[in-house]
Amino acid sequence: MTLLATERIYGGRVVNLERDTVRFPDGSVGTLEMLRHPGAAAVLPFLDDPAAADPRVVLIRQFRHAADGFIWEVPAGRLDPGEAPDACARRELEEESGYRAGALRPLTTIYTTPGFTDERIHLFLAHDLDEREHHREPDEFMEVHRVRWSDVLARVRSGEIDDGKTLAAILYVQACLRSG
């Protein structure tokens, strides 16, 4: 696709809505509404050695207006202008959970919903955690939980964990790092 023109419809604190005129692969031209997002980082924090039989991880139960309630998530947040994804992951981990990562490992990067947004989330695994004090934003309502890996997987199977970035991080770790 080739971008021919962009018109800003709305500019907000978190996202911008734009109407793009594009040339599609078949040569036709059309318009698409796009939510522009600066990107984010998310981190799956392990309290124990990630290779242990049934390690503990830190998960957050956070109130999300769009979900109309509390959902299970990994700590995550938006990239600040010019901020590297690993720095964002470290910052968000400490702000939301109160833990500082001694070690941070990149996992993968995902598009959240490429049908209408360019948002990408960089996923990380953290371990060698040091407990500190959290520094949440005024609109962040969350609880920190320490959960065994076996319980995390049971919550995935039951559908209790349904947040996309959280599922991607958990399943990536299970499939690529813990199986074998």
Catalytic, 137? Answer: yes
Given 73, 96, 133, 137, the catalytic residue? 137
- Would you list the DSSP string of 137-156? -TT--EEEEEEEHHHHHHHH
Please identify which residue in the block is written with the tokens 């995902």: 110
The total of other beta-carbon atoms located within 10 Å of residue 71's CB is 18
Residues annotated catalytic, as ranges: 137
